[in-house]
Amino acid sequence: MDARHAALRRVELRTIKAVHTFAWFTIEAAMVYVLYAGFRGRSDRRAGLAAAVVFTETAVFAGNGFHCPLTAVAENLGDASGSVTDIYLPAWFARNLPAIHVPLLVLAIALHWRNLHRRFLRRAARTQQ
């Protein structure tokens, strides 16, 4: 591989990692909003949209064998580990993302279930009056 080709692959790899970082921040913002809305009792369309973003990311991750689909792309571009998080996220954080997210997902589901259950009970009480 000549120097020009190697330089192009490094740029492509950095681009993939930047895209991954942007996607990660977007998904994390959606997760924070889902939790915020859950705590505030706001199980509305906006929370549903944010939850759909989080659910889609989770489904893609799980459907890819609990590996980021960009890992193979990073490996094909020459990254030894295939990691797409090693430049832009602290290593300990990147390694533990699934362990951090599972409790947050469970909490978000519980909060919104509670909110929707309360809403259902209030509507049922109104119709009985």
| 22-51 per-position pLDDT tens digit | 888 899 999 999 999 999 999 999 999 999
| Number of structural domains the chain divides into | 1
Binning pLDDT at 50, 70 and 90, where does residue 93 land?
A: confident
pLDDT over 70 (residue 82): no
The DSSP code for 41 is T
Task: Specify whether the CB–CB gap between 71 and 60 falls below 8 A.
Answer: no
Q: Name residue, tokens 């919104």.
A: 112
pLDDT over 80 (residue 13): yes
Please give the pLDDT value at position 30. Answer: 97
Please give the pLDDT value at position 128. Answer: 86
pLDDT over 60 (residue 87): no
Residue 7 corresponds to which tokens in the numbers above?
């330089």
Poorest-pLDDT segment among 35-44, 48-57, 119-128: 119-128
Binning pLDDT at 50, 70 and 90, where does residue 94 land?
A: confident
Please give the pLDDT value at position 81. Answer: 64
Instruction: Average the pLDDT over 1-23 and give the result.
Output: 84
Cα–Cα separations (whole angstroms), residue 119 to 16, 46, 101, 122: 43, 17, 27, 5
Domain residue limits at 24: 3-128
**Alpha carbon 16 to chain centroid, angstroms:** 16
> What's at 68, amino acid-wise?
C
Q: Name residue, tokens 């893609």.
A: 60
Number of CB atoms found within 10 A of residue 105's CB:
17
